[in-house]
Chains A and B, each alone.
Chain A
Amino acid sequence: MEFADLAAITIHDVKNRLALLANRADAKGDAETVRGAMEAALTLTRLLVYYRSEKGQLQADIDAHVPADLLQELAAEAGRETSLALRFNAGDAPTLWFYDEALVRLVMRDALYNAMRHSRSAVTLQARLSGDCLEFAVLDDGPGFSGELLGQSLGMQALSREGTGLGLYLARRVARLHDSGGREGCVELRNEGGAVFCLRLPR
């Protein structure tokens, strides 16, 4: 058996175990363990997506989805696991938009957990129409992104600020897979009373 196949099976197995662990902790109201298990599972998902991307097998399965639903689910998932105030605001979002729900969920969840690690008191999830794009954003009230991170454009930089940088790399890959009428999606980082992570997806 190829190492890659074995790795894929192993990751699958570990994710199943983490799911059991998370559910058991969830049932007991143990938010900290739930969060740990969810984050660990997310790390593995990232690895798998990276592998597919390197093999040229990462494709966006684009269809119509409801941006507000995605934010509501992310907030519901993370809200129990944190003492931070977690808000979501999709009032200015279009009812439907076209994107790969699983990939966008991965990117947004990654950005959300990252913000939760650095925020002081509150994290906001936001979806709105911005020009001809849907803009998904995660805003925190932490110290903001480093100057180094803001200056860089592509490649393997650290979104997690202490991680491998895989998150940001994948976020940009995912953004670029969302092309429409010759325009591609993109990721924007800025500091605005905290860190602001934006994923912009063209109409």
Chain B
Amino acid sequence: MALVTPFKNKSVLILDDMPEARTSLRSQLGSLGCERIAVSATVKDALEQFKNERFDVILADYYLGGGTDGQQFLEYLRTRRIIGRGVLFVMVTAEKGYESVVTAAECLPDDYLLKPFTADVLKLRLERLLEKKLRLATIDKLQDKGDWAGVVKVCDDIIGARDRYLVDAMRIKGNALLASRRAEEALEFYRQMIARRPLPWARLGLSRALHQLGRDDECKESLAGLIRESPQLMAAYDLLGKVHVASGDPDAALGILDSACAIAPNSLARHRAVAAVAEDKGDFKRVEAALEKVVKKTRNTPLRETGDIARLGNAFTENGEPVKAVALIEEACKNFKSDAEDAHLAAVEAMAHQKAGNRDKAEAALTRALRTDTAHLPAGAAMAVAKACLTAGKRDEAHGILKTLVQTHPEAKALHDRVSTVLRAHGAGSVAEKLVAESIREIIQLNNEAVLKAKAGELTLAAEMLTRAAQRLPGNIQIVANAASALLFDVLTNGLDAEKVLQAQAFQKAVESRDPAYPKLAEIEDLLGRIRSTFIVGRK
């Protein structure tokens, strides 16, 4: 029989730790006419393959051995945007059960394939899934771009057609409404959905809408009911934990996250969430317990994160075991070159040495920590460096770092509280409120001035102001995006300036890498298009 198959041009990656299983699946795919097949035995090797190849289909076994599983692999790929929504991910497993314990909708595989299956079944299933990807391709692209209004529109068309993709389209539409914070509409949409069929994902969506609307009591009640009836739905625990934290009840949050960990003990994200809540609360015993699990599970795997080691080291120090912290960090730096340059680790090491009474070593570690421009660090790391500075009596440096941190996240109330707490803990309570308030005021004023200048036609000045601010606060996505826009407006009005366009494009790229769905990106792209058609028409 001649093979005319839809698989011929599809690039497939097989991930399975068992050699016979890889061979077997490969030959099944071969019998379907698949020609582009790559195989990997480990997550590490699979990630290497992504550097050279774009895959259309990934078939990953759930059990991978060595502390990793297919679900962790999928979460890694999706959260780091290594694969878009258009890539088909199928989890291969011997039984359904443990695997259905999943974090969030975006980390669900497209399908589960239960072993054993024949080549005929594999063919039918892949055909169907590829057909679905094709039908939802427009939506996938819009979702990857974060064009939520577009997503809702296309979903409505599919819902109107009432075909086999009806419920898929409804699920995506609900998520799009929530992602674009159209909470009232989302609430009504999920209410109608639930009246027809109270599916767990619809009930979760309803709870999300309630949370967005600030109706946290109703949200908690809704989630508690959902968890009772669908105890496998991990995302419900995650949301309930978040709502408890937001309403100032970290103990309740920890309780709920603990019960989730009991059901799905392998989920790294949840142990990390426990650590984050406990750290905020100052319960470093809990931080230590949660992160020891994470560090142990991820040791020598690509899922390892330096931040976990830094936080665990900090917990050791806080728990009165600075020597243990130093040993942990030294081991990390010995085995991973990049860790030796890591500012967060160096800051934690400095604090540990300080506590252990090794002042010279503390000084040396802090010097290493300060070698990095802290404006580029994630909030937790910047905070650690500031704390190390305060511990070593370097007040000015600490205040500078904290000011930048607040200005990078001028709307993150919880973070501002943490900044105040850190300052108070180091005897700087009097400056705490002032530092936070001043930093925020300064950033609002800067934005307002730039807008006024732009409105008054002083576009070049506005662009310069924002460019300087964006270079000082590279993590403030709003400022960086505004700087890009201002530069492009300036060019459009005052004439082509290659340097300004390049700078704007660099800002655009920075915004994209942080949040490809950032709303202002559409405006930037539009401005670039207008500049192209105004100045560069006909030039190639």
A residues neighboring B (CB under 8 Å): 11-12, 15-16, 18-24, 26-27, 34, 37-38, 41, 45, 48, 52, 59, 61-64, 66, 69, 72-73, 76-77, 79-80, 95-96, 98, 102, 105, 180
Contacts and interface: CB of A to CB of B under 8 A. Distances in A.
Contacts of B128: 69
Contacts of B163: 95
Interface in B1-17: none
Contacts of A12: 63, 94-95
Contact of B118 (A77, A102, A180): A77
A1 B99 CA distance: 21
A98 to B, nearest CB: 6
Interface string B106-118: 0000001011111
Contact of A95 (B120, B164, B201, B230): B164
Interface stretch (B24-32, B82-90, B430-438, B453-461): B24-32
B24 to A, nearest CB: 4
Contact of A52 (B24, B97, B166): B97
B334 interface: no
Counting chain A CB atoms within 10 Å of each CB, the highest count among B114, B167, B231 belongs to: B114
5 contacts: A26-B28, A26-B119, A27-B31, A63-B201, A76-B120
B232 interface: yes
B319 interface: no
Given A76-B121, A180-B197, A102 B116 contact: no
B124 A73 contact: yes
A198 to B, nearest CB: 22
A16 B21 contact: yes
A15 B232 contact: no
Contacts of B100: 61
Counting chain A CB atoms within 10 Å of each CB, the highest count among B112, B115, B116 belongs to: B116
A15 B95 contact: yes
A19 B116 CA distance: 4
Contacts of A98: 197, 199
Contacts of A22: 116, 118
A63 B170 CA distance: 12
B18 interface: yes
B199 A45 contact: no
A192 B451 CA distance: 81
B230 A19 contact: no
Contact of A59 (B24, B164, B201, B231): B231
A116 B454 CA distance: 79
A16 B94 contact: yes
